[in-house]
Structure formats: C-alpha cells, structure tokens
Amino acid sequence: MNKPASRRRNGPRPGPRPLADFVAPGISDLCGKAGFSVVEVVTHWDEIVGPDLAPRCVPLKLQWPKEDGAAATLVVRVEGAYAIELQYAAAVVVERINAYFGWRCVGRMALRQGPVPQRHAPPPLPPKPDGATLAAVRQEIGAFEDEALAASLARLGALVRRERGG
C-alpha cells in the first residue's frame, strides 16, 4: 500500500537537535557586542575545548586587531587554580577553535582569573528502591561470594522492576 504524497518523507527522520542550535540566534546580538562574530565559540564551547577544560573556563570576548586579516585574541575567564593548566593548554585550545571553524580566527588566548559559573548541574541520584522489592530481588538472585556485588545487583534489579511497573 502506497503512502499519500503528503505523508512520505525523503531522507532520514530528523533527530534531536543540540540546544545550542536554538540558543545561537537569540544570543547573536549579545555575542556581537562582546566581539564574537562567530556565536559558536560560546554555544559550542564544551565541544571545542573538551570535557576536562570546559567546566573550568568560559569565553568572555574576542578582541579583533585593527589590521585586516589578523587573528583575534580570545579572552577567557578561568578559575584561579586552573589558570596554569589552561595556560599550558592554550595552544591546543586555539588550535581546536581554529580547526572547528576551518580558518585561523584566533591567534592567541588571554586569561582572566575569576569565578566561573557552574553551567552543568550534577546528575540527580536515582531514587532508592523500596525495601520489599529489594528483598524479593535479593532472594531471586541467590548467593554471591562478593556481598557488595550482590547488593548492587539487587538494587539494579529493584530499579528495573520498578521501571517496568512490576
């Protein structure tokens, strides 16, 4: 049976899109005032610098020199204790930014020490299973040599059982 033309899709179904794709148009004016002609430096900062450095620093602005064709200086706020680590990694970060954009837009980084706001909340802890379900699963899995492993598997089984509604 053929689908009506209005219901057919050409190509793959659209999947989830990064939040940065929705935020970028809204903050482009603000970023332009801070010297960010390319908003992705801000919206994709975590991807560009990597998970080790991203929570410890944040881009503040791009300072463009007056000469045409010269690369910008990226000003980054970094937590005091990590300033030395970022200073050593500056060449790598500049290289990642330039590779991300495909042209040499950043020539160097200038660091400003200061507090960096936490952008990512820690993941919530899973709720604890109720005692009756935990005891039932513990009895079903039987005896283990390693008591910690048995307790962990029983908690996992109780959480799975709760998710399935049984």
- 110-153: pLDDT as tens digits: 999 999 887 666 667 777 888 888 899 999 988 888 988 998 89
Average pLDDT, the chain: 78
Give residue-wise pLDDT tens across range 65-96. 888 778 889 999 999 888 999 999 999 999 98
Rounded-to-integer distance, Cα 68 and Cα 48, Å: 25
Question: Which residue(s) pair with 62 in the sheet?
Answer: 74
Rounded-to-integer distance, Cα 18 and Cα 44, Å: 10
What's the average model confidence in pLDDT over 88-107?
88
CA count, 13 A, side-chain hemisphere, 39? 14
The percent of residues above 90 in pLDDT, for the chain, comes to: 14
Q: What is the pTM of this model?
A: 0.50
- Tracing tokens 């507090």 back to the chain, one arrives at 115
Taking every pair of C-alpha atoms in the chain, what is the biggest distance, in angstroms?
Answer: 75
